[in-house]
Structure 1
Amino acid sequence: MAAEQPIPVYTNLTDLYGSLGTSLNHADKWNKIAEEFQRRFGQKPAYIARAPGRVNLIGEHIDYCLFGVLPAAIERDILIAIGQRSKIRAEDFPGGVVAENMQTKYTRQIFAPAPRRRTSVSEQEVRLEEWDLDINTKELRWESYVKAGYYGVLINYFAGEGDPAPVDILVTGTVPAGSGLSSSAAMVVGSTLAFLAINGKLEGNFTGDGPKITKGQLVEMAVANEKRVGVNSGGMDQAASVISVPSSALYISFFPNLSASAVPLPPGAVFIIANSLVVSDKAVTAKRNYNLRVVETLAAARILARRLEVRVDKTEKVTLREVAGRLAGEVEEAGEMPLEWLLETLKRMEREVEGLKPEKSSEEGRLGVTMDEMIKMSGLTLDEFHEVYMSWVEGEIFDSLLGTLELTVLCVKVEATHFQLYKRAKHVLSEASRVLQFRQICLAALSSASSMDVLKDLGQLMNESQISCNELFQCSCPELNELTEIAKDAGAFGSRLTGAGWGGCTVSLVAEDNVDAFIKSVSATYKPYKGLQGEALNEVIFATRPSSGACGEFNEPSDAVRI
């Protein structure tokens, strides 16, 4: 299985480029960060970690419901160069970090983890709270993602004895922030990988003698790390950044455990990414967008389970995928049920989802239910419901719920006082079906069907996904809707938003011989692109082919101080 493979570590760029299998000039980028690191810190970096961004071809907002998704790593990436401090000063704290960014808008940051006091706590609490590394989730800064990756290494590998090495790091990247291409996940994956490597935790102090961390383990660590910046990620972004392979999408399944398999894409298929230029900072807007949708899908899962007479414990945050498994009699120990079986179960659940509509639909609620109605439908008491579904969310989101039973504290554009259980569940179940159909079409195309027919079928599924994201999950925006329509007019087989939505990018499926004409047409039609040329235009609309996942280059510097 791909998730069980070790993280690739290279000692020369020739081998690394062959693995990447992409067309960008990587050599120049890697050489520049190595040279700049030496100029700033007086030594070569010991290690350079690469983590690519990702484009989700189909399967939006279903990963945290534990349904499979189909992303692919893109050629654009984050690079993090790291080296142990060449001159250790007396005032240096254990594990101190000097962090710099090659983008001039980001200033140098210096921070160090502080050991927690061990008074009046259990041994388990001591292990979990061994280190304190301040991460500001209210005013997120670039170094917060670096800290998030570092923190996971600290609590997993320095909870007993020993101190992490003091290091210098330098960051650069080509994944645009807030674009829906998972720059944040790439940053956290890269940071986690870099701190693992420099502290000799990646593969036996680079000798290969010790146990190697697998790709799946790195994904799990990165998911937990990104939650420390306030985002409850389902794991798709991190898995795509770590496990992807060239020329293929990646079918990632999260239930009963993480697994990934390559899905070769049909010949002649090129994906064009277009940035709407509407910034969607998931960590900042999570309280009123992303995390709210997580709560709605979880509540919908419990209520749908009641309708289907599926067992759910009172304290359990059951997901829609887990409900599907129990409904179908799936045995977790045996692995994921056959995908054809899962498709049939999804169809049954889609029929039952109509029961999530309110008894009396109001113009204000527009198919949503009030807090009172949702609790009644769940079969839980108010206290039980709050403990299971709201206690984990930051207080400012749901502070007023106990008092008013309405979500009134949010300035939300969609049904602030109503929970859209029907819409969210209908999107998740239909989107999960589209992912499986997309996968089936790609695999069948290996032995039959004309390439053009295959591209048309895949494009149709992408168009249906966009409609569902816009109308049911309500995570699109006017600019994304406009871009997808422009893309179809320019000859795309299909076009949809990619990423969390509410801004960011679209992804369009385009025939290989139409790429240049497509980009020219979209660039001339989408008004925010007016006046952009050359590299500026290439930053906002570009073609990409699936890339490989996270990796690194290791060079043992002669003048580094080893701890």
Structure 2
Amino acid sequence: MSNGTDAHAPIPTVTSLDEIYDNVETISAQSGRWNNLIDEFEKRFGRKPTHIARAPGRVNLIGEHIDYALFGVLPAAIERDILIAVAPSGTSDSADATKSSGPIQAQNLDERFQPHEFTAERHDETSEWHLPIDKTKLAWGSYVKAGYFGVLNRFFHHTSKELERPQGVDLLVTGSVPSGAGLSSSAAMVVASTLSFLVINDKLHELTKGNLVELTMENEKRVGVNSGGMDQAASVISMTNEALHVTFHPNLHAEAIALPKSTSPDFNPVFVIANSLVVSDKVVSAKTQYNLRVVETLVAARVLGRSLHVQIGPEEKPTLKEILDRWLNVQHGTVLGPDDLKDGLIRLIRETESLKDTLGADDGLTLEGLIHASGLGPREFRDVYLSWIEVDATHFKLYKRAKHVLSEALRVLQFRDICIASTQVAGGESNASADTLERLGTLMNESHLSCAELFECSCPELDELTSVARGAGAYGSRLTGAGWGGCTVSLVSETNVDSFIQKLKEAYTPYRAMDDDQLREVVFATKPGGGACVFKLD
């Protein structure tokens, strides 16, 4: 990972909550939760944990479904998080260190999630670790296994007979990030579990934050979702009170972006997250939703590139960002600056419009038409685009997907520019205004419309909730996360947060019967929080 916001910094180890949370109110609210986790661990395992791994969820402010096309995104960590209390466990004296890991006992404070016990086995012939993960169904233990498997592969891959045995681990999980809500509870779980196994095996010091992002990206793919890296970067690298502009090509890079502020609370922006209460399960529905979009954007890149006479090898599957760079003759390994990237995107969007019929217009292409447009033979096409991922579709909508990705990438850069311009300090005060919020809100609204109509990753409830939010006074509102359910994020004036939430309760039918405690679980204001860390107990 390239140098950027703390990418080369070590993963923090802290010993007090004020190193994690930046105000007394939050510390007070969180301390009971942390103490309860410690006490419950001791009840279940007969000793106190040695560490607690923490990984926050994230909200994507803008830039949906473009990270795996290698375009930049603008997420921020939220205060809600996954906590995993851990301690080394005893190991069996009879176990062969060359053939198996120490035992893992994983439990969850939420009674809906059953305990998991497992060990990893090493194949005699290949010395590779074997730890089955069922990709066909959602199980919280799969994310724990994915984190463990990544640590095993990176640090315990030696074939020597003098083999260090992976330590057995007891762990207890609690989380405040709602699952299936588009706030990346899955990435937070993978990051926290990876940290747990790293610290217990004394490997934490061997990784930087950037290394951890890359490792956890690969770990989550083992669960069956082809993640682009935004979720992990936001969970690991984020800094308090700042969003991240995360870019992925030619290297993963994170740039801190201060969000607009104003001396007047009327123009001080707050982001409010609202859960549609429609569960979005990326793993279960991947072949018709998330993974299908990955394939559609990749094939769109090839078809668009061929039409623009971009050189593409027969076994390559370049992304739309890589096609843009080649079309603009950007030297390999060179970072295209924001202004040049904006100009290039505007040009490529025009070309995409002119190639609308080639890309399948509104109805898309059949598989036969898709193969023909790619310029590959049927076998070659399947080898390149379908052999590594399972999808299910009769038509592939390349034009819509490409237009969304390119226009959304442009909106991210425009959002970034507004934030940078509005947070330039003059005379010691920032200069955010109503115009600042209106411009940001317009980009968010355009993003949601593109997600709904071009990428088709919204749902009726998300469309209703964003509409309700705008009617309740939001400058802008959009789905956040993969979509097909989950949450919206709305830009609201600080002075209007309470009345805004009350208006949502009155207007969105699923909220009407909720009491105040229930409502706080599904609608809450948030500000950018700090990234992942490990808490060391005495």
Residue 294, structure 1, aligned to residue 276, structure 2: no
In structure 2, the residue matched to 1:83 is: 87
Partner of residue 206, structure 1: none
SS at match of 1:282: coil
With normalisation by structure 1, the TM-score equals 0.88
* Identical aligned residues as a percent: 55
Aligned to 1:177: 179
Shift of 1:90: 4.7
1:159 is aligned, of 154, 157, 160, to: 157
Match of 1:41 in 2: 45
Equivalent in the alignment of 1:188: 190
Q: Match for 1:108 among 115, 122, 126?
A: 115
Deviation string, structure 1 residues 171-215 (Cα, Å, up to 9, x no partner) = 000000000000000000000011001000001xxxxxxxx4111
**Partner residue in 1 for 2:320:** 320
> How far did residue 89 of structure 1 move?
4.8
Alpha-carbon distance in structure 2 between the residues aligned to 1:418 and 1:534: 45
What does residue 514 of structure 1 align with? 496
What aligned pairs does 1:183-222 form with structure 2 within 5 A after superposition? 183-203=185-205, 212-222=206-216
2:347 matches 1:370: no
Structure 1's consecutive aligned runs of 4 or more residues displaced over 6 angstroms after TM superposition are none
SS of match in other structure, 1:284? coil
- The answer to whether the aligner puts 1:10 opposite 2:14 as a matched pair is yes
Answer yes or no: is the 8 Å Cα contact 1:330–1:337 preserved in 2: yes
Deviations 1:85-117 (A, max 9, x none): 1x4455776321111100011122111111112
**How many Å separate the matches in 1 of 2:404 and 2:389?**
23
| Contact map agreement 1:48 1:82 (CA 8 A) in 2 | yes
After superposition, where does 1:68-467 map in structure 2 within 5 Å? 68-85=72-89, 87-90=90-93, 94-118=101-125, 126=126, 130-160=128-158, 161-203=163-205, 212-267=206-261, 268-334=268-334, 336-358=335-357, 366-394=362-390, 397=391, 410=392, 416-447=393-424, 450-467=432-449
Read off the aligned partner of 2:59 and give its amino acid letter: V
Preserved CA contact (<8 Å) 1:22 1:547:
no
**Are residue 55 (structure 1) and residue 54 (structure 2) matched?**
no
CA distance in 1, matches of 2:170, 2:431: 53
Q: Please give the secondary structure, in 2, of the residue aligned with 1:27.
A: helix
2:29 is aligned to 25
1:381: Cα distance to partner? 1.2
Q: CA deviation at 1:450?
A: 4.1
Structure 1 pair 272–455 and aligned structure 2 pair: CA distance change class (3 A): same
CA distance in 2, matches of 1:530, 1:300: 43
Q: C-alpha deviations, 1:471-518, integer Å up to 9, x for none? A: 000000000000000000000000000000000000000000000000
2-side partners of 1:135 and 1:112: how far apart?
Answer: 12
**1:23 to partner: Cα distance:** 6.6
TM superposition shift of 1:230: 0.5
Residue among 444, 460, 464 paired with 1:478: 460
Give the direction of change, closer, same or farther, for the CA distance of 1:66–1:531 in structure 2 (3 Å limit). same
Q: After alignment, is 91-100 or 57-66 more displaced?
A: 91-100
Native 8 Å contact 2:20 2:530 kept in 1? no
* 8 Å contact kept, 2:359–2:398: no
One-letter amino acid matched to 2:164: G
Query: Aligned letter for 1:346?
Result: L
Aligned residue type for 2:284: V
8 Å CA contact retained: 2:17, 2:27: no
User: Which amino acid is 2:144 matched to?
Assistant: V
Determine helix, strand or coil for the equivalent of 2:491: strand
Secondary structure of the 1:25 match is helix
Q: With structure 2 as the length reference, what TM-score do the two structures score? A: 0.92
Deviations along 1:332-381, whole A, 9 cap, x unmatched? 334x21110000000111011124433697xxx84311222222221111
> Residues 427-453 of structure 1, C-alpha deviation per residue, up to 9 Å, x if partnerless?
000000000000000000023754211
- Could you say what secondary structure the match of 1:274 adopts? strand
Kept after mapping to 2: 8 A contact 1:276/1:504: yes
**Is residue 2:520 matched to residue 1:523?**
no
Please report how far the alpha carbon of residue 309 of structure 1 lies from its aligned counterpart in structure 2 after TM superposition: 1.4
CA distance in structure 2 between the partners assigned to 1:202 and 1:54 by the alignment: 23
Aligned equivalents of 1:46 and 1:221: distance in 2?
23
Matched length: 515
Aligned partner of residue 20 in structure 2, secondary structure: helix
Post-superposition CA distance 1:47-93 (Å, at most 9, x none) = 110000000000000000000000000010000111011x4455776
Q: Which sections of structure 1, spanning at least 5 residues, go unmatched? A: 119-125, 204-211, 398-409, 411-415, 557-563
| Residue identity opposite 1:101 in structure 2 | N
Q: Is the 8 A contact 1:357 1:369 kept in 2?
A: no
Corresponding letter in the other structure for 2:57: G
When residues 20 and 389 of structure 1 are mapped into structure 2, their CA distance, relative to the original with a 3 A threshold, is farther
**Equivalent-residue separation in structure 2 for 1:60 and 1:271 (angstroms):** 17
User: How many angstroms does 1:14 deviate by?
Assistant: 3.5
Contact 1:276–1:480, Cα closer than 8 Å, also in 2: yes
**Contact 2:21/2:530 (8 A) holds in 1:** no
Q: Relative to structure 1, is the Cα distance of residues 59 and 99 closer, same or farther in structure 2, using a 3 angstrom cutoff?
A: same
* 1:168–1:379 Cα change, 3 Å: same
Q: 2-side partners of 1:545 and 1:360: how far apart?
A: 40
Q: How far has the Cα of 1:331 moved from its partner?
A: 2.3
CA contact under 8 A between 1:21 and 1:547: conserved in structure 2?
no
Tell me how far apart the structure 1 counterparts of residues 58 and 18 of structure 2 sit (CA, whole Å). Answer: 23
Name the SS of the counterpart of 1:346 in structure 2. Answer: helix
Confirm or deny: 8 A CA contact 1:314 1:380 kept in the other structure.
yes
Q: Quote the residue 2:522 is aligned against.
A: 540
Match of 1:249, SS state, is strand
